[in-house]
Amino acid sequence: MTSNEPPGYYPRRTPRPRARRTATASAQICLGNGSARAPVTTDAGPSPVAGCAVPSSERTWVVQAVRFLTEERQRADETPLVAVPCPELPDITIMLKDESTHPSGSLKHRLAQALFVHAICNGDIGPETVIIEASSGSMAISEAWFARQLGLSFVAVVPRTTVPAKISAIRAQGGEIVLAGDGEDLCELAARIAIDRGGFFMDQFGRAAEATDWRGANNIAENMMDQIYRRGLDAPAWFVTGAGTGGTSATIGRYLRLRPELARTRLCVVDPDGSAYFKAFVSGDCAIAGRSSPIVEGIGRGRVASAFQPGVIDHMIAVADSGSVAGALWLAERTDRRFGPSSGTNLIGALLLGQAMQRRGEAGTIVMLGCDGGDRYHETIYNPLWCEKQGLVLEGWNRMLARLGSPAFPAAY
């Protein structure tokens, strides 16, 4: 580590229980895209034939639910790709995929859709199933949105540190909140609630790997490439994303290997300092323990989820929480759009990579994800008093960001 590298910056080079209820009379699906619409009601119809385990009304609900989820996936693909002004790096183009424009407000909208499709087609979710999820907030908001569209009840198990705006957003979608106690495992609590209520624990961390279709048409990697080519840009030098379940980074990394024309494009995964993902990448031990960040929600974790695939990652960077917050504030100034702290983590990674490319005389495009909108954090990272109370020291990072493009600014490699 050089004297120009702030604390928390660590570059690294390549090296359930299931229960469900089924309907026997009628089912409702509220088909829509975030707006209030009249429910579509399916009558029970004729009595099921002898020996048929699935009532006809349930199968009708499944057909309608899958149709809605398929249409929603198609609608979700075209989130904006916007330029991040960065004159300090004149040969580098930084593009941001703004996932905050999804109806549920974050990148988690994509995984929530995939999880619902997988569970419904698996027979785990029917028209009366109660959905339970363990989440720091954004995934719970997205799953609550889908549950409401499908006419299902939803319970979110969240940490007590979850920001109030996220709790309000879950409740606004009709979700019930269960606050986990200090030190209590969210997933274990969610699994117990699923048993007690005869519901289904969605288990984003355990099921993301099998639910995500990285080869399928219109996955996030393919969609970003289509947008990049339509903008007249060449294949990017880097994609930058964080790892929550690990599903997004695995999808992008696998897609880059699937497409031979992207052989020169690399994947960088950024991680909150102390998270298990960075430690696993460095050590090669996916059983290693870490800690989740109380500041940067949605990425980083105390243990490695099954969807995380270190073998498809070309580079990882761990970023201190103060750096993630400083990055989010810098991004808001440059784009006139507010994002959450995980987008700030991505931004720091993109700038470190851009600095490295510029220093080596390289030109190209870096694509990063804007994970969720800053409106959920107006009481936290966009509040200087809150930042001070959390012990976030931003001055050093702000001074570093002011040196972007100069020899004093650190490079990722």
DSSP assigned state of 380: T
In this prediction, residue 217 has a pLDDT band, given cuts at 50, 70 and 90, of low
Helices (H), 234-275: 247-258
Q: Supply the DSSP symbol for 49.
A: P
Q: Higher pLDDT residue, 219 or 304? A: 304
Q: What is the pLDDT of residue 53?
A: 52
Query: What is the reported pLDDT for 77?
Result: 66
In this predicted structure, the answer to whether residue 37 has a pLDDT above a threshold of 90 is no
Q: What is the mean pLDDT of residues 142-156?
A: 98
Mean pLDDT in the chain?
Answer: 88
Percent of the chain with pLDDT over 90: 77
Q: Look at the chain and count its residues.
A: 413
Residue 72: other Cβ atoms inside 10 A: 23
CA dihedral 347, 143, 162, 240 (to 10 degrees): -10
pLDDT beyond 70 at 120: yes
Domain over 10-15+77-102+218-402 is classified CATH 3.40.50.1100: yes
pLDDT (0 to 100) of residue 325: 98
Judged by average pLDDT, the poorest of 24-33, 73-82, 154-163 is 24-33
270, 212, 259, 213: which is closest to 236 by C-alpha? 259
For the chain, the structural domain boundaries read 10-15+77-102+218-402
Q: What are the start-end ranges of the H helices in 20-137?
A: 56-76, 108-121
For residue range 346-395, what is the model confidence (pLDDT) as tens digits?
Answer: 999 999 999 999 999 999 999 999 999 999 999 999 999 999 999 999 99
- Count of CB atoms situated within 10 Å of the CB of 5: 15
